[in-house]
């Protein structure tokens, strides 16, 4: 198992290398002059040239890449020419917010999607099944930002039960930093009031993000449950006197989940890369928002940095899924 994990991590290196090269080339191909943009509208030619020299932007592209890549190896993601801060510092500031949002959305969709998938398979072609499938189809087809707006309208503006946006009330102080997840940090600090506040801010954006993975996980789970229910061992379990509930929620569920795991892993990466719209709608201070601002400013280093981090997390999440797959299914052996 350990060897398998190490091998997968080593295989990551060329992937990430390719990613940097690609991002670098794309960034340079885009029209516009980022240095001029950063220097401001009133800057003279000399000032712009000086700024370009400061950031090494006057060098040939190969040299620029070389500087960047060798910096990367030492954990240096470059400097944003806009904020003038190291990209890594920025990323570490914004990443926890995004991760918290994605984890919350995934937790929600897994916690609901798996039992719903099981139920709809068991009540196949009866009304609970039809109802859940129609809702699933509707939520897959609805764009996330639109759903976010609807939720805001309904729960924040009319019912006023949830805040409109943001991560935490501005007038309050964040709980002491431990994990960067406000909910967890509040719990660790034993501050229930902050925990409750953080949860309420998290709720709407997490729901908006969770609906389409929820629907997909549910449909995947339904399909694999239907498949598993045909297996001989299900008949045997019935024949030796196990109750339907025990059979479905223990014996069938574990088999069906292992088929659903792959989808869960893919969705995790997909959500990570797709937080922009939801973060914008809910004013959520995460990586997506940060990356958008960088793109608008044609500030390349943060863009490449964010892409790298998301790529890394995507591959890591797939690795976790593969390991989990082996844990669930004892026949899978890693050589």
Residues lying near other proteins in the complex (CB under 8 A) are found at 231-233, 235-243, 246, 250-251, 254-255, 258, 328-331
Half-sphere exposure of 236 (CA within 13 A, CB side): 6
Handedness of CA 26, 34, 86, 310 (dihedral sign): negative
Give 70 or 244: the residue with its C-beta nearer to other proteins. 244
Question: Which is closer to other proteins, CB of 65 or CB of 251?
Answer: 251
Nearest approach, Cβ of residue 230 and other proteins (Å):
11
How far apart, in whole angstroms, are the C-alpha atoms of residue 105 and residue 147?
A: 14
Q: How far is CA 294 from CA 4, 67, 70, 173, in A?
A: 37, 20, 22, 27
Cα torsion angle, 300, 305, 310, 311, sign: positive
Interior angle at CA 321, CA 253 and CA 205, nearest 5? 85
Q: Which CB, 179 or 243, lies closer to other proteins?
A: 243
Instruction: Say how far apart CA 145 and CA 73 lie, in whole Å.
Output: 37
For other proteins, the closer of residues 72 and 247 by Cβ is 247
Which residue number, 70 or 235, has a Cβ lying nearer to other proteins? 235
Nearer to other proteins, 189 or 328 (CB): 328
Distance CA 276, CA 284 (A): 9
- Token output for 128: 């609970």
Q: How far is the CB of 250 from other proteins (least distance, A)?
A: 8
> Minimum CB separation from other proteins for residue 134, in Å?
24
Q: What's the min distance (Å) between Cβ of 233 and other proteins?
A: 5
Q: Which is nearer to other proteins, 45 or 331 (CB)?
A: 331
Say which residues have a Cβ less than 8 Å from residue 142's Cβ, sequence separation at least 6.
211, 212
Least distance CB 316 / other proteins (angstroms): 25
| CB 235, min distance to other proteins, A | 7
Which is nearest to 207 in space by CA: 160, 139, 255, 274?
Answer: 139
Measured in degrees and rounded to the nearest 5, phi and psi for residue 126 equal: -120, 180
CB of 213 to other proteins, least distance (A): 24
């Amino acid at each position: 198992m350990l060897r398998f994990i190490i091998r997968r991590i080593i295989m990551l290196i060329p992937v990430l290398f390719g990613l940097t090269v690609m991002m670098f080339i794309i960034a340079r191909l885009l029209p516009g002059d980022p240095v001029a943009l950063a220097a401001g509208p009133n800057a003279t030619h000399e000032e712009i040239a000086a700024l370009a020299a400061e950031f090494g932007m006057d060098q040939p592209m190969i040299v620029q890449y070389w500087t960047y890549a060798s910096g990367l190896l030492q954990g240096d993601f470059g400097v944003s020419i806009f904020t003038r801060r190291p990209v890594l510092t920025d990323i570490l500031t914004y990443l926890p917010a995004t991760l918290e949002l994605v984890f919350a959305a995934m937790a929600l969709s897994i916690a609901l999607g798996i039992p719903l998938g099981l139920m709809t398979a068991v009540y196949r072609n009866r009304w609970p099944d039809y109802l859940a499938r129609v809702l699933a189809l509707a939520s897959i087809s609805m764009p996330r930002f639109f759903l976010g707006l609807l939720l805001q309208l309904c729960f924040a503006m009319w019912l006023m039960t949830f805040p409109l946006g943001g991560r935490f009330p501005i007038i309050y102080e964040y709980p002491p930093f431990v994990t960067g997840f406000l909910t967890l940090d509040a719990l660790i600090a034993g501050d229930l009031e902050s925990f409750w506040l953080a949860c309420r801010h998290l709720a709407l954006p997490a729901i908006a993000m969770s609906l389409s993975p929820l629907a997909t996980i549910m449909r995947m789970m339904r399909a694999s449950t239907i498949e598993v229910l045909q297996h001989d061992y299900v008949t045997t379990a019935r024949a030796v006197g196990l109750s339907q509930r025990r059979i479905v929620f223990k014996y069938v569920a574990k088999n069906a989940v292992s088929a659903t795991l792959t989808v869960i892993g893919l969705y995790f990466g997909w959500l990570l890369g797709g937080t922009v719209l939801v973060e914008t709608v809910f004013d959520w201070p995460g990586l997506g928002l940060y990356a958008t601002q960088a793109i608008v400013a044609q500030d390349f280093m943060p863009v490449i940095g964010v892409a790298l981090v998301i790529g890394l997390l995507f591959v890591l999440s797939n690795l976790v899924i593969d390991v989990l797959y082996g844990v669930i299914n004892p026949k899978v052996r890693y050589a």
